[in-house]
């Protein structure tokens, strides 16, 4: 059978998008449970495909073509597959994001305006390394009534193909073409040029990769380029808590975008805190790179200017001692990426100043930056994290995959009645109500 062109796949997704938007809440949720069941029943097949990808990636790592962080993100395991199916079921359990009436406004008696949530349409996703991203994105798109174009990295091609085929087989009752897999690198540029057919592009990968996507398409792009996250240990911090948070934020999973990259420490507590966290980091194999003040307290490599703006994605952390809360927020504003930043302090007033002084998508008080995640936020999962301010921000779940339409319910009204010298005034009165066809509140 001849392989379909990218243009054909996108056209099929456009057609499917109009039909999937009309599926019932129950049908979309049932399809997700079928996906979870299929993955649960296919661990052996998935892991065999993933082993091929990992083996090839490790060979390229030895040749210097791949990073260890990429290989780490690529690996699947039985426990990882279990967490993937838990995520899919969590998405299925989320409240239906479609058809919600956001506002209901009476323009006049018998003339009512409703603002209601609807799918975005066709979503194009281009992602690197992580095969679990394919399942996350497809699940969220299905639950929110969107068609999806999936382009994974070549390093995960075997894993992605198996997972996509399982999803296709499990969703036989969903309009055909709702999910499409493209694999050729050249097809990325084709997708980016299809601004009349694709409504949103969501890239997930390195900062260079995301920047390329942003600079080479006129389609709206939802995502972030870097995850340069900070933990600031304030002078009023509980140092035991600060040690646990700084450790978790770096070591729990260093390859992801919400891992901490720079640790800022107030000078008043640095002498007590740094030896404690340095010992824990040493046990975990973390390399510390510090400014002169930090290196006077603990032996570590010297940090360069480049370290303050680097997303390592690895067991490396930059350390800087600051003399004030203001210096901490100034450093984050200068070098951060507006992703996720945290303060550890027992002083709620200082926490409030820190949190209101930053422009990051997520700002935490006494918690690890690793909580910046759609599943942990209760969104079911996430298609990615956005550091932009338009449409969606932070971990993007179902709500970020919807937009809205205005529905006007009338009873024969015409604009002429409300224009001219004898114009009838509008009421413009908000009321509690939900839209359905023929839903005039006086009926």
pLDDT in tens, 134-150: 999 999 999 999 999 99
Residue 437 inside a domain? The answer is no
Confidence of residue 2 (pLDDT cuts 50, 70, 90): low
Task: Give pLDDT, residue 112.
Answer: 94
What is the Cα–Cα distance from 317 to 116, expressed in whole angstroms?
45
Q: Do residues 127 and 133 make contact, with C-beta atoms less than 8 angstroms apart?
A: yes
**Mean of per-residue pLDDT scores for the chain:** 93
Is the pLDDT at 351 greater than 70? The verdict is: yes
Predicted structure pTM score: 0.82
Residue 423 inside a domain? The answer is no
Q: Is 333 exposed, middle or buried (0-12, 13-18, 19+ CB in 10 A)?
A: middle
- Does residue 181 sit in the same domain as residue 249? no
What is the Cα–Cα distance from 242 to 45, expressed in whole angstroms?
42
- Does residue 322 sit in the same domain as residue 360? yes
- Does residue 293 sit in the same domain as residue 168? no
CA-angle at 44, arms to 43 and 49, nearest 5°: 100
Task: Give pLDDT, residue 151.
Answer: 93
- Does residue 346 sit in the same domain as residue 366? yes
- Does residue 217 sit in the same domain as residue 235? no
Distances (CA, A) of 289 to 277, 335, 358, 392: 13, 16, 24, 34
394, β-bridge pairs: 386
Q: Do residues 274 and 280 make contact, with C-beta atoms less than 8 angstroms apart?
A: no
Residue 370 inside a domain? The answer is yes
Q: How is residue 219 annotated by DSSP?
A: S
Is the pLDDT at 343 greater than 70? The verdict is: yes
Collapsing DSSP states into helix, strand and coil, what is residue 230?
A: strand
The CATH number given to whatever domain includes residue 332 is 3.40.309.10
Residue 24 inside a domain? The answer is yes
- Does residue 125 sit in the same domain as residue 65? yes
- Does residue 217 sit in the same domain as residue 238? no
The CATH number given to whatever domain includes residue 25 is 3.40.605.10
- Does residue 129 sit in the same domain as residue 278? no
Q: For 52-101, write each residue's pLDDT tens digit.
A: 999 999 888 888 777 787 788 899 999 999 999 999 999 999 999 999 99
Angle at which helix 131-143 crosses helix 157-170, to 10 degrees, equals: 30
Collapsing DSSP states into helix, strand and coil, what is residue 111?
A: strand
Q: Which residues form the domain of 278?
A: 229-379
- What average pLDDT does range 165-189 have in this prediction? 93
Task: Give pLDDT, residue 32.
Answer: 97
- Does residue 74 sit in the same domain as residue 202? yes
Q: For 367-404, write each residue's pLDDT tens digit.
A: 999 999 988 998 877 888 888 877 888 888 898 999 99
- Does residue 216 sit in the same domain as residue 291? no
Residue 432 inside a domain? The answer is no
What is the Cα–Cα distance from 341 to 337, expressed in whole angstroms?
9
- Does residue 243 sit in the same domain as residue 200? no
Which residue is associated with the tokens 């003040």? Answer: 293
Which parts of 171-324 fold into alpha helices (H)? 186-192, 207-215, 239-251, 267-284, 292-297
- What average pLDDT does range 410-424 have in this prediction? 93
Q: For 266-314, write each residue's pLDDT tens digit.
A: 999 999 999 999 999 999 999 999 999 999 999 999 999 999 999 998 9
Q: What percent of the chain has pLDDT over 90?
A: 78
Question: Domains in the chain: how many in total?
Answer: 2
Lowest mean pLDDT among 8-17, 182-191, 218-227, 246-255: 218-227
Residue 388 inside a domain? The answer is no
Contacts made by residues 22-27, CB under 8 angstroms, sequence distance 24+? 23/145, 23/174, 23/175, 25/96, 25/98, 27/173, 27/174
Collapsing DSSP states into helix, strand and coil, what is residue 408?
A: strand
- What average pLDDT does range 216-227 have in this prediction? 86
Q: How is residue 388 annotated by DSSP?
A: -
Dihedral sign of CA atoms 294, 298, 304, 309 in order: negative
Task: Give pLDDT, residue 441.
Answer: 57
Is the pLDDT at 1 greater than 50? The verdict is: no
What is the Cα–Cα distance from 348 to 366, expressed in whole angstroms?
10
Task: Give pLDDT, residue 105.
Answer: 96
Q: Do residues 382 and 340 make contact, with C-beta atoms less than 8 angstroms apart?
A: no
Distances (CA, A) of 336 to 145, 221, 315, 388: 35, 20, 18, 14
- What average pLDDT does range 153-157 have in this prediction? 91
What is the Cα–Cα distance from 229 to 3, expressed in whole angstroms?
43
Residue 433 inside a domain? The answer is no
- Does residue 238 sit in the same domain as residue 332? yes
């Amino acid at each position: 059978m001849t392989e379909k062109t990218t243009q054909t796949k996108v056209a099929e997704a456009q057609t499917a998008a109009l039909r999937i938007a009309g599926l019932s809440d129950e049908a979309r949720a049932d399809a997700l449970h079928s996906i979870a069941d299929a993955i649960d029943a296919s661990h052996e097949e998935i892991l065999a495909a993933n082993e091929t990808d990992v083996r090839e990636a490790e060979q390229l790592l030895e040749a210097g073509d791949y990073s260890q962080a990429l290989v780490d993100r690529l690996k699947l395991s039985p426990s990882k597959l279990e967490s993937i199916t838990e995520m899919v079921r969590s998405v299925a359990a989320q409240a239906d994001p479609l058809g919600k009436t956001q506002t209901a406004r009476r323009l006049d008696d018998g003339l009512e305006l409703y603002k209601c949530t609807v799918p975005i349409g066709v979503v194009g996703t281009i992602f690197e390394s992580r095969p679990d991203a394919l399942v996350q994105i497809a699940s969220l798109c299905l639950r929110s009534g969107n068609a999806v174009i999936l382009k994974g990295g070549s390093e995960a091609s075997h894993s992605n193909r198996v997972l996509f085929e399982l999803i296709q087989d499990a969703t036989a009752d969903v309009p055909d073409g709702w999910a499409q897999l493209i694999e050729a690198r050249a097809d990325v540029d084709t997708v980016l040029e299809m601004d009349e057919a694709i409504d949103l592009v969501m890239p997930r990968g390195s900062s260079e990769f995301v920047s390329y996507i942003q600079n080479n398409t006129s389609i709206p792009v939802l995502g972030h380029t870097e995850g340069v996250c900070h933990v600031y240990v304030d002078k009023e911090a509980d140092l035991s808590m600060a040690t646990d948070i700084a450790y978790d934020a770096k070591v729990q999973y260093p390859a992801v975008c919400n891992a901490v990259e720079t640790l800022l420490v107030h000078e008043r507590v640095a002498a007590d805190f740094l030896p404690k966290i340095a010992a824990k980091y040493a046990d975990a194999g973390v390399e510390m790179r510090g400014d002169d003040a930090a290196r006077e307290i603990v032996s570590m490599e010297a940090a360069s200017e480049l370290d303050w703006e680097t997303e390592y994605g690895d067991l490396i952390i930059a350390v800087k001692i600051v003399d004030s809360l203001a210096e901490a927020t100034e450093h984050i504003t200068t070098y951060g990426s507006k992703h996720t930043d945290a303060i550890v302090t027992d002083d709620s007033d200082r926490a409030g100043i820190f949190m209101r002084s930053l422009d990051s998508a997520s700002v935490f008080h006494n918690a690890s930056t690793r909580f910046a995640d759609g599943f942990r936020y209760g969104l079911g999962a996430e298609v990615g994290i956005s550091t932009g301010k338009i449409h969606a921000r932070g971990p993007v779940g179902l709500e970020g995959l919807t937009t809205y339409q205005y529905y006007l319910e009338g009873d024969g009204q015409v604009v002429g009645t409300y224009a001219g010298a004898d114009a009838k005034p509008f009421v413009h009165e908000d009321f509690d109500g939900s839209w359905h066809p023929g839903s005039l509140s006086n009926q």
